[in-house]
Amino acid sequence: AQKITQTQPGMFVQEKEAVTLDCTYDTSDQSYGLFWYKQPSSGEMIFLIYQGSYDEQNATEGRYSLNFQKARKSANLVISASQLGDSAMYFCAPRSNYKLTFGKGTLLTVNP
């Protein structure tokens, strides 16, 4: 089974500052994808960003970017210019073949 480690159960950030959420994973697959999802208190799962294991460039989607270090099996999410609406649970989720496995998540709180 895949092992995913998100070492920060909770993080606090001031509004408008940047924050990095850590994720490491353990896979023996050569081809895989890395996803980050956001889950606000309403419970919906919102896709944020995707990185393919063969992508040479780090993925970016608006205020979200991935710091992908394949050799270290690390895919940290960077959120720039935090907003109050960013307060939520964030899950790192590697996908291998058709299965998506979630890390335990990081609860991010953005303070005004």
Partner 1 sequence: DAMVIQNPRYQVTQFGKPVTLSCSQTLNHNVMYWYQQKSSQAPKLLFHYYDKDFNNEADTPDNFQSRRPNTSFCFLDIRSPGLGDAAMYLCATSGRKNEKLFFGSGTQLSVL
Query: Is 44 among the residues that bind partner 1 (CB under 8 A)?
Result: yes
The 3-state DSSP class for residue 51 equals strand
Judged by beta carbon, residue 73 or residue 95, the one nearer partner 1 is 95
Which among 30, 46, 50 has a CA at the least distance from the CA of 38?
46
36 vs 26: CA distance, rounded Å = 16
60 vs 70: CA distance, rounded Å = 16
89 vs 75: CA distance, rounded Å = 17
Query: In this chain, which stretch among 17-25, 30-38, 68-76, 77-85 interacts with partner 1, using CB under 8 A?
Result: 30-38
Query: Is 32 among the residues that bind partner 1 (CB under 8 A)?
Result: yes
Least distance from C-beta 44 to partner 1, angstroms?
5
Judged by beta carbon, residue 63 or residue 102, the one nearer partner 1 is 102
Element (H, E) at 91: strand 88-96
Within positions 70 to 99, which residues make up the interface with partner 1, using CB under 8 A? Answer: 91, 95, 97-99
Binding site for partner 1 (CB under 8 A): 31-33, 35, 43-45, 47, 50, 52, 91, 95, 97-105
